Amino acid sequence: MKSIYSSDIGDLIIFADLKIDGIYFANQKNLPKEMCKNEKNFENKIIRECKIWLDDYFNGIIPENKLEINFTCSRLQKKVYEKTLEIPFGETLSYKSLSLNVFNDVNHSRFVANTLAKNKFIIVVPCHRVISSKGELRGYLAGVNKKRFLLEHERKFR
């Protein structure tokens, strides 16, 4: 099932059944086109909870409800996503620091970056909070301008 969520930064497409299967910007590079074609806009309990979460987020409220996410990835990738979920609202962490948090080793930062490049849960799994060691904004599926917008948005409410 899918539903559209309109935000100041653009439309988000939410896919969900028993858990959240994906949240993408409508113009995002890895948007699964096959999932978009055949379904009408629909809402279920999981999608409504996700929209409440997004409402809170865009209103500057740190969302308290935990969404049920359907991670379909390897155990190591899931570990990267779970550690990314721990990055506080309005703060950033480098790929190397996240690698250190996940693997106790900075030499896995490329794995971390590649994993986050496949993030199917935009904003909710806050890969926009992960930046280069030099503080540069890089590698955001929806574009660096959206990454910058989200970080500035969060900093306003810290």
pLDDT in tens, 57-97: 999 998 887 899 999 999 999 999 999 999 999 999 999 99
Tally of CB atoms within 10 A around 4: 11
Strands 10-16 and 2-7: antiparallel
What local confidence, expressed as pLDDT, does residue 64 receive? Answer: 81
Please answer whether residues 49 and 67 qualify as being in contact, where contact means their C-beta atoms are separated by less than 8 angstroms. yes
Which secondary structure element, helix H or strand E, spans residue 15, and what is its range?
Answer: strand 10-16
Angle of the 109-116 helix axis to the 95-103 helix axis, nearest 10: 100
Collapse the DSSP code of 158 into the 3-class scheme (helix H, G, I; strand E, B; otherwise coil) and give the result.
coil
**Residue 88 DSSP class:** P
What local confidence, expressed as pLDDT, does residue 85 receive? Answer: 96
Distance CA 140, CA 12 (A): 15
Is 36 among the residues known to form the active site?
A: no
What local confidence, expressed as pLDDT, does residue 1 receive? Answer: 85
Q: Which of 36, 50, 73, 127 is catalytic?
A: 127
What local confidence, expressed as pLDDT, does residue 35 receive? Answer: 66
Distance CA 4, CA 28 (A): 14
What local confidence, expressed as pLDDT, does residue 27 receive? Answer: 83
Pick from 46, 37, 51: nearest CA to 4: 51
Q: List, for the chain, all residue ranges whose pLDDT scores fall below the cut of 70.
A: 34-39
What local confidence, expressed as pLDDT, does residue 32 receive? Answer: 77
